[in-house]
A and B are shown apart, each in its own frame.
Chain A
Amino acid sequence: MREPTYFVLASLLQGPLHGYAIIKRAEELSGGRVRLATGTLYTALDRLTAEGYVTLVSEEVVAGRIRRSYGLTDGGAAALRAEAQRMAEAARLVTEWKPAPREGRLGRKTRTA
Chain B
Amino acid sequence: MSPLERRCRLLMFTYPAEYRRERGDEMVGTLLDTTPPGRTWPRPGDIWALVIGGLRSRSVRSRRLGMATNLRLAALFGVAIYLSVVANGSIVWGLTPYTAGWPYWLMGLLIAVTILAAWFARRTVVLVAALVAATFCYEEPTLVFRLTPSLYVPNLAEALLLVLLAALVLLSGGRKRPPRLWLCLPGLAIAAALLSRLLVPAANWFPSTSTFPEGQTTLLAVVLVMFLAFVVIDPRPALALAIYFGLFLANQVIMTLMLKTPPHGAGLSLGELDWVWLWPGLVLAVLALLLVRRRPRAVL
The chain A residues found within 8 Å of chain B, CB to CB, are 1-2, 5, 18-20, 23, 35, 37-43, 46-48, 50-51, 53, 62-63, 65-68, 79
Chain A residue with Cβ nearest B45:
A37
> B23 near A: Cβ within 8 Å?
yes
Query: Chain B's nearest CB lies how many Å from the CB of A5?
Result: 5
Query: Chain B's nearest CB lies how many Å from the CB of A83?
Result: 9
> B31 near A: Cβ within 8 Å?
yes
A39 to B51, CA, bound (A): 8
The chain B residues found within 8 Å of chain A, CB to CB, are 23, 25-31, 33-34, 42-43, 45-46, 48-54, 56-57, 298-300
Contacts of B33 in A (CB 8 A): 19-20
Query: Chain B's nearest CB lies how many Å from the CB of A85?
Result: 16
Pairwise interchain contact B45-A50, C-beta atoms closer than 8 A: no
Instruction: Out of B23, B31, B49, name the residue touching A40 (CB < 8 Å).
Output: B49
Query: Chain A's nearest CB lies how many Å from the CB of B16?
Result: 12
Most buried by A among B33, B56, B298: B33
Contacts of B299 in A (CB 8 A): 2, 47
Pairwise interchain contact A67-B298, C-beta atoms closer than 8 A: no
Top 10 nearest A-B pairs (CB, nearest first) are A39-B49, A37-B49, A39-B53, A19-B30, A65-B29, A20-B33, A39-B50, A43-B53, A40-B49, A37-B46
Instruction: Out of B26, B31, B34, name the residue touching A67 (CB < 8 Å).
Output: B26
Query: Chain A's nearest CB lies how many Å from the CB of B6?
Result: 15
Pairwise interchain contact B30-A66, C-beta atoms closer than 8 A: no
Query: Chain A's nearest CB lies how many Å from the CB of B147?
Result: 64
Query: Chain A's nearest CB lies how many Å from the CB of B10?
Result: 14
Chain A residue with Cβ nearest B31:
A38
Pairwise interchain contact B300-A48, C-beta atoms closer than 8 A: yes
Contacts of B54 in A (CB 8 A): 39
A65 to B30, CA, bound (A): 10
Contacts of A40 in B (CB 8 A): 49, 53
Chain A residue with Cβ nearest B8:
A38
Pairwise interchain contact B29-A47, C-beta atoms closer than 8 A: no
Instruction: Out of B25, B45, B50, B298, name the residue touching A51 (CB < 8 Å).
Output: B298
Pairwise interchain contact B57-A41, C-beta atoms closer than 8 A: no
Pairwise interchain contact B50-A38, C-beta atoms closer than 8 A: yes
Instruction: Out of A48, A50, A66, name the residue touching B25 (CB < 8 Å).
Output: A66
Pairwise interchain contact A39-B52, C-beta atoms closer than 8 A: yes
Query: Chain A's nearest CB lies how many Å from the CB of B41?
Result: 13
Most buried by A among B27, B48, B300: B300
Pairwise interchain contact B298-A23, C-beta atoms closer than 8 A: no
Pairwise interchain contact A65-B26, C-beta atoms closer than 8 A: yes
Query: Chain B's nearest CB lies how many Å from the CB of A89?
Result: 19
Contacts of A35 in B (CB 8 A): 45
Pairwise interchain contact A67-B29, C-beta atoms closer than 8 A: yes
A39 to B14, CA, bound (A): 11
Query: Chain B's nearest CB lies how many Å from the CB of A86?
Result: 13
Pairwise interchain contact B27-A47, C-beta atoms closer than 8 A: no
13 CB < 8 A contacts A-B? A2-B299, A37-B48, A37-B49, A38-B42, A38-B50, A39-B27, A39-B50, A39-B52, A42-B30, A51-B300, A65-B26, A65-B29, A66-B26
A43 to B50, CA, bound (A): 9
Pairwise interchain contact B45-A19, C-beta atoms closer than 8 A: no
Query: Chain A's nearest CB lies how many Å from the CB of B37?
Result: 14
Pairwise interchain contact A42-B300, C-beta atoms closer than 8 A: no
Known: A19-B27, A42-B27. A47 touches B298 (CB 8 A): yes
Pairwise interchain contact B29-A66, C-beta atoms closer than 8 A: yes
A62 to B43, CA, bound (A): 23
Contacts of A18 in B (CB 8 A): 30
Query: Chain A's nearest CB lies how many Å from the CB of B299?
Result: 7
Most buried by A among B25, B27, B45, B53: B53
